[in-house]
């Protein structure tokens, strides 16, 4: 169900309410208006946005439907922005991005979104206490919202970084294909994040250069500040991607190393056991004429021969470096 | 066989018919004309395009022959565009792209294509109902067509994404070289898609910047909207490519992991069986003097020795972590 | 041996001959001249190019020696271009590129090359029939030559694409190191092609933007057309490179998969045979007291035990999915 | 605890002390001031920076909090820079970067940092001896500080290069998964370094182009010199990254090679031992009628047969190139 | 020890000598001066460069110390360039780059370098014979020097290409970890080369665009020619890098292929020998009641059974394609 709420600042008096406040705003050209619309329905919104405020049909549509990327469209009487609040749930491997469409005019701000947004809620609730938010102009309120949207990336990135580190450690412990699956999912989450953050960074760059007509010049530095944060975010994402690629490559090496170790064990076993079995086989032959069989110490001699061969083999592998103390120690750690 | 159909809007009256309508258009400088030519043959088209309308020979040729990429050529009396409708059949691994050549003048639009195009059919059929399409000028009709061409990418991309996800799941289930083959084919399909979508995106960027003379300024925002969609499409393609690269790498790791598991089974088997076989071999030797053979419980002692060695080996592998409960559970899932 | 041939168009009269025609051209400022020089020798060319026509010593040198990349140098009285006709013999893995140096003035064109070029031969032979080639100015003749040089890439690219596809199929059939060798050679061929096509594309872009003074404005669209072809060529080369990288990665996976299959066979064999051999070994022991040996059906019992163990092992591998019908079927295909 | 120290140059007289010197500076418009603040606390700094000097609240905040990247913000009365002194401890795999926020005016310089910085200490201590530092203007003092910050990268890069070389050598000696872990950590350190050095290089480029209003033109060449150093640093970082990628790939190959060697040993052993064991097995069969068993030299014949088979197998492997002298020699080196 | 030599051209008279000639040059504003300084010491150079000629202290320093990259700094009375002569000794895996610092004024040229440079020696020695070098202005002499420096890359690149080709061949022969080591070293050499050649190319681009004030316009084309060479050089370096990456990947595949072959041999051996050994084991059992043992042809029957099983196994592997004639042939080639 569509929810519309309106905040109106006249002089220093702040009123919040529903659509009806818009009329009061129309009457006073110095009044500042913020209209927040949640879960917009076409039949309710269209008369308000297109007919009453004269927003362009394409922009109005964009504020309704789902998946557009961050962008900026200038219009004669207002600026139209789409921002994206990104939320990647790394533990459950689901990523959600929430669209925020905004129309910014000289003395009004529309924020339109489907789901409730923490950033909107927070700034809205600060309105009564912090008059500056609307008094400085609706673009300052927009700044406050976008600032929160962007800064919400940081805890997320930290979470991802921890995830990658943890995965890396676990892979060195035991290279399991479940880890691989996790890594691929994490990679996709980060790719989704990146796909949205690059246009958002570009959008903020545009704004902070002063391209948007209804952002007042003295507020550009605030958007420049957000841009710097967004820049850092996308840099961090790239470092994470790089780290994940390295982890992927490392995974293969860890598995190969393990195969190597397994092969060594097999080879050492076979190389020791096969000759001994041969010796036993030889003295199990049924030839009538086999002098050793009749030696009184023949049995001891055979056992001794086996032990001798085993020792030679072990020494050989020792000298090849396949059996080492350090290897044993490492094994113990695993 | 070449099919030519013509739509003519005079005042508010829409007529559709064949080539003969063009004369009516020539007589009325306010009339709007749309000529749609399917499966063009050189000998029919050349007199119409080059001689009657004075289109440049190179552009006329481009509208006939097969494989050019999206582009824009300005001429004094008209703009010439090539668009590409892409259709990749992911299940059968065949990719088709259909060329759409268009000449756009102040009051005329030519759309020329070999195969029937869904986008053309749809817009053409909406002409009688939606007068806006021609009344706003032929560039608005062109917008309607290109909009559909671009939006047709989205279901395709979803299909590809599902394909990649599905492939990834199947690879984790059983890394089969048939999957690899499928992955390589899918990669090529996406590369073909990318190769056409990048110049198309660039073309739409050019148009939405206002480079094309015969697109009216008030319609630029519509093309800008298409450009945004195209941008999203090419971003999605890049994410897909990245995901496929990851899958390729993962494939190798999954196979390596499996080899690892197989080697473990072999090594455990050999390491347990070889010593037991040796013991059996030793007591199969024919030495006259082998005290154990004459022990009343010799046989039991030998069997006991074997069981003891087997238990030691199993414990050793257990302690090395090669035999674990979790491994058994995982195996069961597979 | 240096071969010089000259084509001269005066009014509508075309003359072809040797150097002596140049004097006739000097006398008539409207005459158009095309001088084609094959296998140029320094001592013959230098007086002609540097002294008579006043071409710069560096440009004259460039038209002689071997390996420069496509480029454009403007001079007050003429433009100097180097083009490259590329010929990669994919079946024998040899790549050849042929340099074409051209001096283009208001009413003259010099084409200088070491080896005979198909494009030159073809256009030269069309001169008598198609007067347009020189009448439109020497830049139009140049267009005709370059057009052919560029279009000669297409069959080559198709050949390469087929080669890659074929290689890919063969690798999936049997991953042989000969295929790898072939792939590396093919990669180098494509790299050579790419190295020449990128500067050539840039050169054609420059020309079609109108940078070259002696290309007449009305002919720019022709060069723009060539540029579009060259653009498509370099796009195709990139797709091919990508496909080859994918093939390289796939190769490794195919080999790994095969190793995997081999290991499975070995492990299954060992895991079945080793326990049976142990059973046989046990009943081959020479203990005096082994009750089974005296059972009337002892032999049958031992054989039965072996068959039982074998069945258990086979069932175990079956349940692990190592022995499946589908695998057998796949094997049959191989 | 916040530490504030102030250096004041009036005429040729240098005074150092605490905040109180600022009043003296205010009185003399030719005096040069350098205020260095370490470990800034909000409640102490805010009145000084925002209220007394009128620095923008966002810039003042940036000089307090932690992690921003290098950047430049112009203000009417001063320039605001953030630099980063990077310190990566390669042996312990920890990387630290220290922020240095600076406000530069016509005749004042603020340097604000949390931890003590070697570059600041050094330049501060040279103030009494080298009057040029402040006399040339506060931007020259800033140059001296930044020069040291940048040059501190060089020993670090050398350390990293040595680390990579050393790791590479050790991997060729014995490809251990501990090396892999080290490599991944080193890679992350270098990535952190790169992430900070690229914006810093861009910042220095901006400065040396003359974008910063309060850097005097005759000092641009000094910043250009720092930029050149920073350029070299980021180039070196890229070479290092490339080298590390190569090492990662090499690691896998080294492990694969080793597996190969192990497999050869196993195969040679099995291929020699298994036939001999079979021969022994055959003559251990209990058939009543086995002529060889009754030959007087039967035993010798069997041993001879074994030796013969063993020699044949060894020769076969020799001819296959699996047993070679060179291999033995190489093994000895390992 | 610092060596200073001076060449002075007055009118058409060339004098060479030591520093004292500089005074003669000062007296005649049309005289051209070239000062070549080898192995510069600070205490000798500083008075000459900084005090007498007024070169900037930073530039003077740069001409002394070691490692700066190619660059260009403009000054009012002269241009300052740093070039790099690169020398990579591919056989011994050591790469050296030699810095050449140059100050170029209207009528003077300083070349300063630590080690003797072949390019300087050569041009210097041609001075008496080729008056053009100085008469055209000192920038022409500089051209002659830089031309030689750049062209010295070509034999080097050919050497590297041969090296890569040779390595590739050897890897296909026998994938040895020594090859890998060589490849990594070669890669580093090429990276070093690339790191210097990119800024040098950019520097030459700048010069040939006419950015340097003291290069006369009519000589720009000469520098443009050098730039084209440098461009080709860096393109070749990129192709080489690509080829080396391919070789690295191929290496792994070759090793994997070899492991594959080894596994096949092992598996075939085991799969044939194990069943035979089992048969021998069975008839070596000591059951009292084993009818076969008493058959007159029992022994023959057992041997026959073994041969039969062996043939079945061989046929099975043949049909699987593991034993083929082609394989044998290939093996023979190795």
Q: What is the 3-state secondary structure (H, E, C) of chain C?
A: CCEEEEEEEECCEEEEECCCHHHHHHHCCCCEEEEEEECCCHHHHHHHHHHHCCCCHHHHHHHHCCCCCCEEEECCCCEEEEEEEEEEECCCCEEEEEEEEEEECCCEEEEEECCCCHHHHHHHHHCCCCCHHHHCCHHHHHHHHHHHHHHCHHHHHHHHHHHHHHHHHHHHHCCCHHHHHHHHHHHHHHHHHHHHHHHHHHHHHHHHCCCCCCCCHHHHHHHHHHHHHHHHHHHHHHHHHHHHHHHHHHHHHHHHHHHHHHHHHHHHHHHHHHHHHHHHHHCCCCCCCCHHHHCCCHHHHHHHHHHHHHHHHHHHHHHHCCCCHHHHHHHHHC
pLDDT at B68 over 90: no
The DSSP letter of residue D69 is P
> Pick from A239, A254, A321: which is nearest to D180 by CB?
A254
Confidence of residue E325 (pLDDT cuts 50, 70, 90): low
Which of B96-110, C147-161, D175-189 has the least mean pLDDT? D175-189
pLDDT at D327 over 50: no
Which pLDDT score, from 0 to 100, does residue B90 have?
59
Residue of E245, E267, E272, E277 for testing the chain C interface, max C β-carbons within 10 Å: E267
Burial state string for B10-41 with b = 16 or more CB within 10 A and e = fewer than 16: beeebeeeeeebbeebeeeeebbbbbbbbebe
pLDDT at D177 over 90: no
> Beta strand pairing status for D79-89 and D71-74?
antiparallel
Residue C174 near chain B (CB below 8 Å): no
Which pLDDT score, from 0 to 100, does residue C327 have?
47
Give the 3-state secondary structure percentages of chain E, helix then strand then coil, rounded to 5: 60, 15, 20
Task: Please enumerate in sequence order all residues whose Cβ is within 8 A of that of A327, keeping only pairs 6 or more positions apart, or say none.
Answer: none
Mark out the alpha helices in B138-219 (DSSP H runs).
Answer: 138-151, 153-173, 177-208
C-alpha count within 13 angstroms, C-beta hemisphere, residue D307 = 6
Contact flag D321-E334 (C-beta cutoff 8 Å): yes
Confidence of residue A122 (pLDDT cuts 50, 70, 90): very high
- DSSP output for D291-308: HHHHSTTHHHHHHHHHHH
In sequence order, the β-bridge partners of residue B74 are: B79
Residue C273 near chain E (CB below 8 Å): yes
Q: For the sheet containing A79-89, what is the strand order?
A: A13-17, A3-10, A32-38, A108-113, A94-104, A79-89, A71-74
**Nearest in space to D192 (alpha carbons), one of B253, A243, C206:** A243
Task: Please enumerate in sequence order all residues whose Cβ is within 8 A of that of D193, keeping only pairs 6 or more positions apart, or say none.
Answer: D86, D88, D95, D153, D156, D160, D237
Chains contacting D (3 or more CB pairs within 8 Å): A, E
Which pLDDT score, from 0 to 100, does residue A89 have?
64
Q: How many CB pairs under 8 A join B and C?
A: 143
> Pick from E192, E258, E269: which is nearest to D260 by CB?
E258
Which pLDDT score, from 0 to 100, does residue D332 have?
47
Give the 3-state secondary structure percentages of chain A, helix then strand then coil, rounded to 5: 60, 15, 20
pLDDT tens digits for range E187-227: 888 888 888 889 999 999 999 999 999 999 999 999 999 99
Residues of C in contact with B294 (CB under 8 A): 288
Residues 303-332 of B with CB under 8 A from C: 303, 306, 331
d(CA A33, CA A16): 10
Which pLDDT score, from 0 to 100, does residue B57 have?
85
d(CA E143, CA E81): 12
Contact flag A247-D184 (C-beta cutoff 8 Å): yes
User: Quick one: average pLDDT of E21-45?
Assistant: 89
Which pLDDT score, from 0 to 100, does residue C89 have?
64
Residues of D in contact with E298 (CB under 8 A): 287-289
d(CA E36, CA E109): 8
| C83 alpha carbon, distance to own chain's centre | 18
By three-state DSSP, how is residue A57 classified? helix
User: What are the C-alpha distances in Å from E268 to residues C329, D317, E306, E324?
Assistant: 21, 15, 15, 13
pLDDT tens digits for range A271-323: 999 999 999 999 999 888 888 888 888 899 999 999 999 999 999 998 888 88
User: Rounded to a whole number, what is the distance in Å from the CA of C74 to chain E's nearest CA?
Assistant: 10
Residue A173 near chain D (CB below 8 Å): no
> Beta strand pairing status for B79-89 and B71-74?
antiparallel
What's the whole-model pTM score?
0.82
Whole-number mean pLDDT of chain A? 87
Report helix angle E220-282 to C220-282, nearest 10.
20
d(CA C97, CA C87): 6
pLDDT tens digits for range A270-284: 999 999 999 999 999
By three-state DSSP, how is residue B34 classified? strand
User: Quick one: average pLDDT of D177-193?
Assistant: 84
User: Rounded to a whole number, what is the distance in Å from the CA of C243 to chain E's nearest CA?
Assistant: 13
User: What are the C-alpha distances in Å from C82 to residues A290, C62, C70, C72, D112?
Assistant: 89, 8, 5, 7, 58
Which pLDDT score, from 0 to 100, does residue E33 have?
94
Mark out the alpha helices in chain B (DSSP H runs).
Answer: 21-27, 42-46, 57-62, 118-126, 132-135, 138-151, 153-173, 177-208, 220-282, 291-294, 298-320, 325-333
pLDDT tens digits for range D206-228: 999 999 999 999 999 999 999 99
Confidence of residue D61 (pLDDT cuts 50, 70, 90): confident
Q: Over pLDDT 90: what percentage of chain B?
A: 40
d(CA B282, CA B300): 15
Which pLDDT score, from 0 to 100, does residue C28 have?
87
Contact flag A286-D285 (C-beta cutoff 8 Å): yes
Q: Which of B16-25, B65-74, C16-25, C141-150 has the highest mean pLDDT?
A: C141-150
User: Quick one: average pLDDT of E125-139?
Assistant: 89
**Nearest in space to C153 (alpha carbons), one of C80, C71, C95:** C95
Asked if C6 and C21 count as a contact pair (C-beta separation under 8 A), the reply is: yes
Report helix angle C57-64 to E220-282, nearest 10.
30
Whole-number mean pLDDT of chain D? 87
d(CA C16, CA C24): 12
What does each of the 334 residues of chain C score in pLDDT, given as a tens digit?
789 999 999 888 899 998 889 988 988 888 999 999 999 888 888 888 888 888 988 888 888 866 788 999 999 999 999 999 877 665 665 667 889 999 999 999 999 998 888 899 999 999 988 888 888 999 999 999 999 999 988 888 888 888 888 888 888 877 677 888 888 888 888 888 888 889 999 999 999 999 999 999 999 999 999 999 999 999 889 888 888 888 888 888 888 888 888 999 999 989 999 999 999 999 999 888 888 888 888 899 999 999 999 999 999 998 888 886 544 445 444 4
Q: Please report the ipTM that was assigned to this predicted complex.
A: 0.77
Length of chain B: 334
CB atoms within 10 A of CB B307: 11
Which pLDDT score, from 0 to 100, does residue A276 have?
93
Confidence of residue D334 (pLDDT cuts 50, 70, 90): very low
In sequence order, the β-bridge partners of residue E82 are: E71, E101
User: Quick one: average pLDDT of A240-262?
Assistant: 87
Burial state string for B180-197 with b = 16 or more CB within 10 A and e = fewer than 16: bbbbbbbbbbbbbbbbbb
pLDDT tens digits for range B120-179: 999 999 998 888 888 899 999 999 999 999 998 888 888 888 888 888 888 887 767 788
Q: For residue C15, which phi and psi values (nearest 5 degrees)? A: -120, 140
Residue A42 near chain D (CB below 8 Å): no
**Nearest in space to B285 (alpha carbons), one of D28, D246, C70, C281:** C281
Which pLDDT score, from 0 to 100, does residue E90 have?
59
Asked if A23 and A51 count as a contact pair (C-beta separation under 8 A), the reply is: no
Which pLDDT score, from 0 to 100, does residue E115 have?
87
> Pick from E191, E192, E273: which is nearest to D274 by CB?
E273
Asked if B14 and B8 count as a contact pair (C-beta separation under 8 A), the reply is: yes
Report helix angle B138-151 to B153-173, nearest 10.
10
pLDDT at E328 over 50: no
Q: For residue E104, which phi and psi values (nearest 5 degrees)? A: -120, 120
Task: Please enumerate in sequence order all residues whose Cβ is within 8 A of that of B329, keeping only pairs 6 or more positions apart, or say none.
Answer: none
Residues of B in contact with A249 (CB under 8 A): 249
Confidence of residue A94 (pLDDT cuts 50, 70, 90): low
Which pLDDT score, from 0 to 100, does residue C328 have?
47
pLDDT tens digits for range D85-102: 877 665 665 667 889 999
> Sign of torsion, CA B122 B125 B130 B132?
positive
Asked if D201 and D83 count as a contact pair (C-beta separation under 8 A), the reply is: no
User: Quick one: average pLDDT of B193-221?
Assistant: 91
Q: Which of A171-175, C115-119, E34-38 has the highest mean pLDDT?
A: E34-38
CB atoms within 10 A of CB A238: 15
> Pick from D222, D232, D322: which is nearest to E69 by CB?
D232
Nearest-Å Rg of the Cα atoms of chain A is 35
Residues of C in contact with B296 (CB under 8 A): 289
User: Quick one: average pLDDT of A163-175?
Assistant: 84
Which pLDDT score, from 0 to 100, does residue B328 have?
47
Specify the DSSP element, H or E, that contains A228. Answer: helix A220-282
pLDDT tens digits for range B250-289: 888 888 888 888 999 999 989 999 999 999 999 999 888 8
Which pLDDT score, from 0 to 100, does residue B257 have?
87
d(CA A195, CA A181): 21
d(CA D113, CA D97): 11
Q: Over pLDDT 90: what percentage of chain D?
A: 40
pLDDT at B329 over 60: no
User: What are the C-alpha distances in Å from B47 to residues B53, D262, E303?
Assistant: 9, 77, 90
């Amino acid at each position: 169900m569509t929810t519309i709420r309106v905040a109106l600042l006249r002089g220093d008096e702040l009123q919040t309410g529903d659509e009806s406040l818009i009329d009061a705003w129309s009457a006073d050209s110095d009044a500042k208006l913020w209209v927040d619309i949640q879960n917009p329905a076409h039949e309710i919104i269209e008369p308000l946005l297109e007919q009453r405020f004269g927003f362009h049909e394409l922009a109005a549509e964009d504020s309704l439907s789902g998946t557009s990327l961050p962008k900026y469209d200038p219009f004669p009487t207002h600026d139209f922005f789409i921002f994206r609040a990104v939320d990647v749930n790394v533990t459950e491997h689901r990523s959600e991005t929430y669209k925020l469409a905004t129309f910014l005019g000289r003395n009004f701000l529309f924020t339109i979104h489907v789901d409730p947004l923490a950033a909107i809620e927070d700034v809205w609730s600060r309105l009564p206490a912090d008059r500056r938010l609307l008094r400085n102009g609706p673009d300052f309120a927009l700044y406050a919202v976008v600032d929160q949207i962007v800064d919400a990336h940081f805890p997320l990135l930290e979470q991802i970084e921890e995830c990658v580190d943890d995965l890396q450690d676990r892979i060195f412990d035991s290279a399991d294909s479940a880890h691989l699956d996790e890594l691929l999912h994490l990679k996709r989450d980060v790719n989704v994040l990146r796909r949205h953050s690059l246009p958002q960074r570009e959008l903020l760059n545009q704004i902070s250069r002063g391209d948007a007509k209804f952002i007042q010049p003295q507020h550009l530095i605030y958007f420049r500040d957000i841009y710097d944060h967004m820049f850092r975010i996308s840099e961090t994402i790239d470092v994470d991607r790089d780290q994940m690629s390295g982890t992927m490559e490392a995974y293969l090496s860890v598995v190969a190393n393990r195969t190597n170790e397994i092969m060594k064990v097999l080879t050492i076993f076979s190389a020791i056991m096969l000759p001994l079995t041969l010796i036993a086989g030889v003295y199990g032959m049924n030839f009538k004429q086999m002098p050793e069989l009749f030696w009184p110490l023949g049995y001891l001699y055979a056992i001794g021969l086996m032990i001798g061969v085993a020792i030679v083999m072990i020494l050989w592998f020792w000298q090849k470096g396949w059996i080492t103390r350090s290897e044993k120690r490492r094994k113990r750690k695993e």
